Amino acid sequence: MNKTVNQKAWFLILPVLILVAFSAVIPLMTVVNYSVQDTFGNNQFFWAGLDWFKDMLESDRMWNALGRQLMFSGIILAIEVPLGIFVALNMPQKGFWSSFCLVVMSLPLLIPWNVVGTIWQIFGRVDIGLLGYTLDALGIDYNYTQDSFDAWATVIVMDVWHWTSLVALLAFAGLRSIPDAYYQAAKIDQASRWAVFRYIELPKMAGVLMIAILLRFMDSFMIYTEPFVLTGGGPGNATTFLSIDLVKMALGQFDLGPAAAFSLMYFLTILAISWVFYTVMTTLDKRDGK
Amino acid sequence: MTDIATPQVAEPVDKMTIAKPRKASRRMRPSGGAVVMTLYLLFLMLPIYWLFNMSLKTNAEILGAFSLWPRDLTFANYARILNDPSWYMGYVNTLIYVVLNTTISLAVALPAAYAFSRYSFIGDKHLFFWLLTNRMAPPAVFALPFFQFYSSVGLFDTHIAVALAHCLFNVPLAVWILEGFMRGVPKEIDETAYIDGYSFPAFFIKIFTPLIASGIGVAAFFCFMFSWVELLLSRTLTSVDAKPIAATMTRTVGAAGVDWGVLAAAGMLTIVPGALVIYFVRNYIAKGFALGRV
């Protein structure tokens, strides 16, 4: 759409700017402030320069948490995106069953995140949970509070349970927007099912899939509540992801300086990666718009 | 399980079948689609069913015998939550700040979204992306500064503090969703209204708002939902007076171990609000998640 140039539009944006400045910029400046200072308590601060950043970059703790985080985000993206597309392809297109599937699939998305953790905490317990009990009855040694592999598997299955529907819903919306003419043309060309998927459905879904990947990346990278409730970051540090580690450092130990430096680097990492996704997304938008 | 494989599910699964003579392909593919969906939906519902199952059992039964459905059906867990103020006030507190947050977010996002969808001005694209970056900000980064900031201005443990804190991610979300819906309204409508002598506020309230009513509904739903599911910030910013239900739930760990039945019942009750409204927005939910860009 052709937009009118109108600088007065800034006035309409003003309320948002003020509110976001209040709720984002001021707190972020506090973080910046802490990240370059040290304290002996009593509110006496002195300049520490970039020492905290140097400290954090040299500490194994942050790199380990980052490694776990990247592995987690990578694994859940690798599972949720293909699975989501697969589910979307199999969804009924219209009628009662389509609505039914949409509603049921949306349910996990609307459950408070700590309840998601609680659900899986119960579900996975060997004594009272269906999953744990079944696995135990099958003779599989399963205990997500003791064994780090089991803890990882449970956290990942929980995330797949929680969020695959989001990818599926988006992919489904993308699929529905493909005009029938494309399928008819493919039919005339005697295209195989795979060819239809590869050359019609996938390119047409590219835009929404980018959004899905962007959202899943962002949200999985800042995941906190669900693993915190489920495993508390343990056993040991096995499922301590970046946010859990950060909260431990900032609110638990009150190490303001390192925590602030950590925060900034954490935020910048998400920002940098998301910016790449966003650029790809807007480029796709423009291409589709023409 | 295969009962669900009625023609409604089955037929439209593979668009290729539309052009074909129906009989030949109906047997093969469609049932495959129905089986996949049945399995997937079962996977989604099982953990929720298990929670529901537990919420209707007594603690003795939960810990004593393993059963797939409650043998000794009881509503005592729900009764306890609904009769104990320290429990149900959790729901009330959560509802208060969620509604506050939704109202604030929509009020500031509506004009901004209109500006983004209709006008171009200096810095508009950068501003739009900057807004999105707030959606990307990990709440963990903001927990400590929020805590100190709201404590220092005396808003700690109030509903408005949590509502404002949640604006961090809900305002950008609302702006994005509304902008997506507003783009779909032809600009000629604005121009005609101005020619007819409407002032901007009159036009916006009387003509434009009804046109994007569904968009406002979806944006409200998403603000509601994300504020409802968030725990980290709301827990950090409250202690007693505005304590959300999510934080109350951690209280079930008592001296006698975890009170599983009550915990499960509390969990079930937090699912209810989402489940009630989801039906109305089912066709827009993908658009909402895609930030209005499908």
Condensed to tens digits (0 to 9), the pLDDT of residues B246-274 reads 778 776 555 556 778 888 888 898 888 88
**Is B72 inside a domain boundary?**
no
Examine the domain organization and report whether B103 and B168 are in the same domain.
Answer: yes
Do B237 and B191 fall within a single domain?
yes
Cβ distance B8 to A16 less than 8 Å, yes or no, reads: no
- The rounded distance, in Å, linking the Cα atoms of B259 and A220 is 30
pLDDT for res A43: 66
Specify the pLDDT at position B14.
Answer: 47
Residues of chain A numbered 230-249 and touching chain B (CB < 8 Å): 242-244, 246-247
Chain B interface mutation, best of A87, A122, A240, highest count of B Cβ atoms under 10 Å = A122
- Number of domains making up chain B: 2
Percent of chain A's residues with pLDDT above 90: 12
A122, closest residue in chain B (CA to CA): B51
Q: Is A181 exposed, middle or buried (0-12, 13-18, 19+ CB in 10 A)?
A: exposed
CA distance B143 to B79: 34
Q: Between the ranges A13-22, B89-98, B250-259, where is the mean pLDDT highest?
A: B89-98
pLDDT in tens, B148-181: 888 888 888 889 999 999 998 899 889 988 988 8
Strands A4-5 and A37-39 come out as: unpaired
| DSSP per-residue codes, A151-174 | HHHHHHHHHHHHHHHHHHHHHHHH
Paired strand residues for B151: none
Please check whether residues B22 and B86 belong to one and the same domain: no
Report which of B199, B18, B189 is spatially closest to residue A184, judged by C-alpha positions: B18
The CATH number that applies at residue B95 is 1.10.3720.10
Average pLDDT estimate for B26-52: 80
More confident residue, B9 or B78: B78
For B95-142, how does the pLDDT look when each residue is reduced to its tens digit (9 = 90+)?
999 999 999 999 999 999 999 888 888 888 888 888 888 887 888 888
What tokens were used for A223? 């995941």
B33 pLDDT more than 90? no
Alpha-carbon distance B23 to B32, whole Å?
Answer: 16
A159: left (phi over 0), alpha (psi -120 to 50) or beta: alpha
Q: What angle in degrees, to the nearest 10, is found between the helix axes of B159-183 and B213-229?
A: 140
Segments forming the whole domain that contains residue B205: 79-289
B109 and B252 co-located in one domain: yes
Instruction: Assign domain A58-289 one CATH number from 1.10.3720.10, 3.30.9.10, 3.40.50.300, 2.170.120.40.
Output: 1.10.3720.10
- Is the pLDDT at A188 greater than 60? The verdict is yes
Percent of chain A residues past pLDDT 70, beyond the cut: 96
- Whether pLDDT at A75 is above 60: yes
Question: Comparing B14 with B235, which gets the higher pLDDT?
Answer: B235
Q: Which of B37, B47, B282 sits opposite A119 (nearest CB)?
A: B47
Q: Are residues B203 and B264 in the same domain?
A: yes
What pLDDT is stored for residue B5 in this prediction?
41
Each residue of B194-243: pLDDT tens digit?
A: 898 888 889 988 889 888 888 898 888 888 888 988 888 888 888 888 88
- C-alpha A91/C-alpha B278 separation (Å) is 18
Predicted confidence (pLDDT) at residue B11 exceeds the cutoff of 50:
no
Out of A102-106, B58-62, B80-84, B87-91, least confident range: B58-62
When mean pLDDT is compared over A30-44, A153-167, B126-140, the highest value belongs to: A153-167
Do B104 and B202 share a domain, yes or no?
Answer: yes
Lowest average pLDDT, out of A45-49, A119-123, A238-242, B240-244, goes to: A45-49
pLDDT of residue B274: 82
Torsion, CA A60, CA A62, CA A64, CA A66, rounded to 10: -150
Residue B174: Cβ within 10 Å count: 33
> Nearest Cα to B194, choosing from B206, B203, B186?
B203
- Note whether B216 and B271 are same-domain residues: yes
Closest partner residue to A5 (CB to CB) among B44, B121, B267 is: B121
Q: Does position A86 have pLDDT exceeding 90, yes or no? A: yes
B143 lies within 8 A of chain A by CB: yes
Instruction: Using a CB–CB cutoff of 8 Å, tell me whether A286 touches chain B.
Output: no
- Are B163 and B102 found together in one domain? yes
Indicate if B16 and B97 belong to the same structural domain. Answer: no
In contact, B44 and B246? CB cutoff 8 Å: no
Q: Is B293 close to A285, i.e. CB distance below 8 A?
A: yes
Inter-chain contacts counted by CB atoms under 8 A, chains A and B: 306
Q: Mapped to the 3 state alphabet, what secondary structure does chain B carry?
A: CHHHCCHHHHHHHCCHHHHCCHHHHHCCHHHHHHHHHHHHHHHHHHHHHHHHHHHCCCHHHHHHCCCCCCCCCCCHHHHHHHHCHHHHHHHHHHHHHHHHHHHHHHHHHHHHHHHHHHEECCCHHHHHHHHHHHHHCCHHHHHHHHHHHHHHCCCCCCHHHHHHHHHHHHHHHHHHHHHHHHHCCCHHHHHHHHHCCCCHHHHHHHHHHHHCHHHHHHHHHHHHHHHHHCCHHHHHCCCCCCCCHHHHHHHHEECCEECHHHHHHHHHHHHHHHHHHHHHHCCCHHHHHCCCCC
Cα–Cα distance between A268 and A27 in angstroms, integer? 15
- Give the pLDDT confidence score for residue A42 in this predicted structure: 61
Q: Is A253 on the interface with B (CB under 8 A)?
A: no
Q: How far apart are CA B96 and CA B98, in angstroms?
A: 6
Task: Give me the pLDDT at residue A112, please.
Answer: 87
Tell me if chain A has a CB within 8 Å of the CB of B63.
yes
Chain A, 36 to 65: residues with Cβ < 8 Å from chain B are none
Question: Over 50: is that where the pLDDT of B8 sits?
Answer: no
Sort out which chain B residues have CB atoms less than 8 A from A270's CB and list them: 136-138
- Contacts of residue B178, Cβ cutoff 8 Å, sequence gap at least 6: B109, B110, B113, B114, B117, B212, B215, B216, B219, B292
Whether B63 maps to a domain, the answer reads no
The answer as to whether B40 is a domain residue is yes
Do B9 and B142 fall within a single domain?
no
Instruction: Check CB contact of B173 with chain A, cutoff 8 Å.
Output: no
B102 and B35 co-located in one domain:
no
From the list B36, B132, B290, which residue is nearest A170 (CB)? B290
Q: B229–A5: do the CB atoms touch at under 8 Å? A: no
Instruction: Report residue B95 as tokens.
Output: 């509802």
Mean pLDDT for chain A overall = 84
The pLDDT of residue A2 is 63
Mean local confidence (pLDDT), A244-257: 79
Same domain for B238 and B284, yes or no, is yes
The domains of chain A are located at 58-289
